[in-house]
Amino acid sequence: MKKILLIFLSLLLLGLPKSMLAQQKVPILIYHSIDEFKGKGSRELYVTPENFEKQMTYLKNNGYTLLTFERWQDISTVPKPIFITLDDGYKNNLNAFSIFQKLKTESFQPAGTFFVISDFIGRTNRLSKSDLKMLADSGLISIQSHTATHPNLTKEENLKYELKESKEKIQQITGKPVIALAYPLGNTNEHVVAETKKYYSFGLTTTPGPYYKLDNKNENYLLPRIYIKYSTTLDDFAKAVKVD
């Protein structure tokens, strides 16, 4: 009897699609500037518009579903879910938006999250209020918080200003909910997570690697991200986003 049960169970397992047995793997990519590198700052924090377009085209041609955090619950239902995030709110992120517009078709809906520093909005090399409103209204870009002044949150005393005020300021500009926070430089700790939980549903680190759903406590506040750099080749990119 026991033997029959075992055979039955093995057959059942063999019959299940691989994806149901494998732990679900979701890449969350992190970018900064989408622009040509002109010698200012760190080259690796740039991805050229040409490379960004090739990378997004790869996702399009390989059946990925681009999500923003408002659709987090969809990771278990859509094919090959992936998140595209851009930190620091640079003006050149408009290049990413143009590429999204260009690649958009009826069957491919690009989507990305811009994490902006609320006190820096409108500076010369950063996105302006009207940029942010336009991006949020496009339905392609979700505008979320990267704090008010980009401090190391683990050493910051005024967490309320960095977390709550930045959220409110961005919401006022876009008219849409701010639910995700990217910790500046990826720095966080138990106290920062506890404070973040008061105002946000998600916290993003820069811990490398894809996200695996484990149902661990606080896992949505310790989301890992995969760096896409200036030197990332399309081959590297394909490996980084591989989900099966």
Residues that bind Zn ion (CB under 5 A): 87-88, 184
Q: Which residue is nearest to Zn ion (CB)?
A: 87
Minimum distance of Zn ion from residue 87's CB (angstroms): 4
- Closer to Zn ion by CB, 88 or 156: give it: 88
Minimum distance of Zn ion from residue 58's CB (angstroms): 25
- Closer to Zn ion by CB, 88 or 195: give it: 88
Q: Is 144 helix (H, G, I), strand (E, B) or coil?
A: strand
- Closer to Zn ion by CB, 151 or 184: give it: 184
CA atoms within 13 A on the CB side of 105: 9
- Closer to Zn ion by CB, 64 or 120: give it: 120
Q: Is 217 helix (H, G, I), strand (E, B) or coil?
A: coil
Question: Residue 28 contacts by C-beta under 8 Å, 6 or more apart in sequence?
Answer: 82, 83, 85, 204, 210, 211, 223, 224, 225, 226
- Closer to Zn ion by CB, 53 or 131: give it: 131
Contacts 24+ apart (CB under 8 A), 91-94: 91/124, 91/125, 91/126, 91/127, 91/128, 91/131, 92/33, 92/34, 92/35, 92/125, 93/33, 93/34, 93/127, 94/127, 94/131
> What's the chain's length in residues?
244
Minimum distance of Zn ion from residue 34's CB (angstroms): 15
